[in-house]
Amino acid sequence: MEIWNHRVTEEEAGTRLDRLLQQHRPDLTRSHLKRLISEGFVTLDGEKIKAGFAVKSGSDIELQIPPPPEITPEPEDIPLSVIYEDHDLLVVDKAAGLSVHPGAGRASGTMVNALLGRGTTLSPVGAPLRPGIVHRLDKDTSGLLVVAKTEVAHHSLTEQLAERSMSRRYWTMIWGLMEPKEGEIEGALARSRADRRKMRVVSRGGKPALTRYRTLWADQSLSILWVGLQTGRTHQIRAHFKSQGHSVFGDSDYGGRSKRVSIHAVGKRDRFRQALGILSRQALHAAYLSFTHPVSLERLDFTSPLPSDIMKAAKVLEVPGEVLDTSVMEEV
């Protein structure tokens, strides 16, 4: 069990206990800290205390952080679209709503559980929670992922990812007219202080991130883009476009839903509301994946068509059909 101690300074006096802990322990989510406080793992001068208590200068805080419970993924019968498989690896076209692997507070219902359920042997790298997982997609982002079945394949694919010789391209629809029509977004990403589930662009610290994009079609309200990742940070595309004032359409975590509808003319508002009613998640799809096979050294290229929810929403918004075809992929 980790034990963390802190003496309250004069500047910190009067601050709520939970807020002070959030400032000093940004690695812990707000909900996690509140649970630790309520369960008695936080004391002030040796006494259990409530989250909203205003701390006093000179008081001693002790925070005990129990180790997370061990999770071993179990096989589950979950539908999974595998578009390629051989002895060394497989490529999955992941549906939106499916988490890639188990994690804190989520022990089942993931792609890893589904792979185990179909009897797939996975690389031991990353076990027990992430066996075979080379890269990830957000739960509500659909599209292509490569999964390693052997340790040799896993190391090769991970190396390609690090060296940027693995190519990943995304189709996305964002709010507004993106200018310039082709370019880069560079900005380090760090966890949001207000909500640890989200990322934000920061001027100091954080992890370097670079996103490249090309506009396929746009009007004053929407832009359709191809997006290429030069780095693979959590929520990178979503946070980067949010930082430019162009949230991904439908993205509830980054301002891409109802807040953007009201600024448009009445006729467009109806179409936007209808499209958002169809699309309950962000309009972001990993449509292209290319890498070198770890054993045969053959270059493999895969494309994935847009899922039905994105297609239906785009048609309501009168997006031209030719930009909904992901089989024609250009370099970004």
pLDDT in tens, 46-77: 999 999 999 999 999 999 998 877 778 999 99
Active site residue 27: no
pLDDT for 157 equals 98
pLDDT for 263 equals 67
pLDDT for 99 equals 96
Correct CATH for 82-163 of 3.10.20.30, 3.90.180.10, 3.40.50.150, 3.30.2350.10: 3.30.2350.10
User: Residue 204 corresponds to which tokens in the numbers above?
Assistant: 């100091």
pLDDT for 316 equals 96
Distance CA 324, CA 296 (A): 33
Classify domain 168-324 by CATH number.
3.30.2350.10
> For residues 62 and 1, is the Cβ–Cβ distance under 8 A?
no
H helical segments located in 190-307: 236-243, 258-261, 266-278
pLDDT for 148 equals 98
Task: Tell me the per-residue pLDDT of 226-285, one tens digit each, with 9 for 90 and over.
Answer: 999 999 999 999 999 999 999 999 999 999 997 667 666 567 888 999 999 999 999 999
Whole-number average pLDDT of the chain = 93
Alpha-carbon distances of 275 from 145, 216, 306, rounded to whole Å: 27, 20, 15
Alpha-carbon distances of 9 from 23, 57, 58, 60, 61, rounded to whole Å: 13, 5, 6, 10, 11
Q: Is 53 left (phi over 0), alpha (psi -120 to 50) or beta?
A: beta
pLDDT for 329 equals 66
Q: Hey, CA dihedral for 104, 107, 109, 110, is it positive or negative?
A: positive
Rg (alpha carbons) of the chain, rounded to whole number:
22
- 128-152 mean pLDDT: 96
pLDDT for 27 equals 81
- 184-198 mean pLDDT: 90
Residues 6+ apart with CB under 8 A from 8: 15, 20, 55, 56, 57, 58, 59, 60, 61
The residue type at 275: A
Residue 115 has pLDDT above 90, yes or no: yes
- 177-196 mean pLDDT: 92
Burial classification of residue 69, based on how many CB atoms lie within 10 Å of its CB (0-12 exposed, 13-18 middle, 19 or more buried): exposed
pLDDT for 68 equals 72
Percent of the chain with pLDDT over 70: 96
Residue 199 has pLDDT above 70, yes or no: yes
Same fold, 82-163 and 168-324: yes
H helical segments located in the chain: 17-24, 30-38, 111-117, 151-163, 236-243, 258-261, 266-278, 308-316
The residue type at 184: E
pLDDT for 174 equals 97
Q: Which residues of 164-194 are buried (b: 16+ CB within 10 A; e: fewer)?
A: eebbbbbbbbbbbebeeeeeebebbbbbbee
- 297-303 mean pLDDT: 98
Distance CA 143, CA 96 (A): 8
Q: What is the pTM of this model?
A: 0.83
pLDDT for 133 equals 97
pLDDT for 293 equals 98
pLDDT for 54 equals 95
The residue type at 156: S
pLDDT for 265 equals 59
- 206-224 mean pLDDT: 95
pLDDT for 266 equals 63
Per-domain boundaries in the chain: 2-65, 82-163, 168-324
Q: Check: CATH 3.10.290.10 for 2-65?
A: yes
Q: Which of 18, 88, 138, 140 is catalytic?
A: 138
CA proximity to 60, closest of 24, 20, 18, 7: 7
Name the CA dihedral angle for 308, 312, 315, 319, rounded to a multiple of 10 degrees: -50
